[in-house]
């Protein structure tokens, strides 16, 4: 009985923490500014990809990239801003990498197999290192 109560309490705490995290993400001033920039814009690129996805217009993406880059430069310990800058600006680099992989036989095999690289494999040195 105590185990069930503890499990329920842990699940409730996790749900509360998740809700707080999602609320904080929605309340982010940078994200709010990006939403305000393109609130009236509508295009097929603004279709959500998953339940917590916030689709951005090109103008919003530029604003996010600039704001996150400036914030990350001011305080490199802000991993959230470093990640946001990378996500906002990494699209062309990712597309170029995929194009290069499709152009080579080994790249096509990797794309078809879609292997998962884990920390354990990386530590073992089995990732080509």
Distance CA(14)–CA(50), nearest Å, equals 20
Give pTM, 2 decimals: 0.47
The gap from C-alpha 7 to its chain's centroid, in whole angstroms, comes to 30
Structure tokens at 26: 């929605």
Instruction: List the pLDDT tens digit at each of the 129 positions of the chain.
Output: 555 665 566 556 555 555 555 555 555 666 666 555 555 444 445 678 888 888 888 899 999 999 999 999 999 999 999 999 998 888 888 889 999 999 999 999 988 998 777 777 777 766 655
Contact at 8 Å (CB) between 34 and 63? yes
Contact at 8 Å (CB) between 56 and 34? yes
Which stretches of the chain are DSSP H helices? Answer: 2-27, 29-37, 58-74, 79-89, 91-103, 105-113, 119-124
Buried b (16+ CB within 10 A) or exposed e, 5-28: eeeeeeeeeeeeeeeeeeeeeeee
């Amino acid at each position: 009985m105590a185990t069930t109560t503890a499990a329920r309490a842990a699940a409730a705490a996790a749900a509360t923490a998740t809700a707080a995290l999602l609320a904080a993400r929605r309340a982010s001033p940078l994200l709010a500014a990006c939403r305000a920039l393109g609130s009236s814009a509508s295009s097929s690129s603004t279709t959500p990809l998953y339940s917590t996805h916030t689709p951005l217009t090109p103008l919003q993406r530029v604003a996010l990239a600039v704001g996150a880059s400036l914030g990350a430069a001011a305080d490199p310990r802000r991993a959230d801003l470093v990640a946001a800058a990378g996500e906002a600006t990494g699209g062309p680099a990712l597309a170029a990498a995929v194009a290069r992989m499709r152009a080579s036989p080994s790249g096509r095999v990797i794309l078809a197999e879609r292997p998962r690289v884990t920390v354990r494999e990386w530590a073992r040195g089995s990732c080509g290192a």
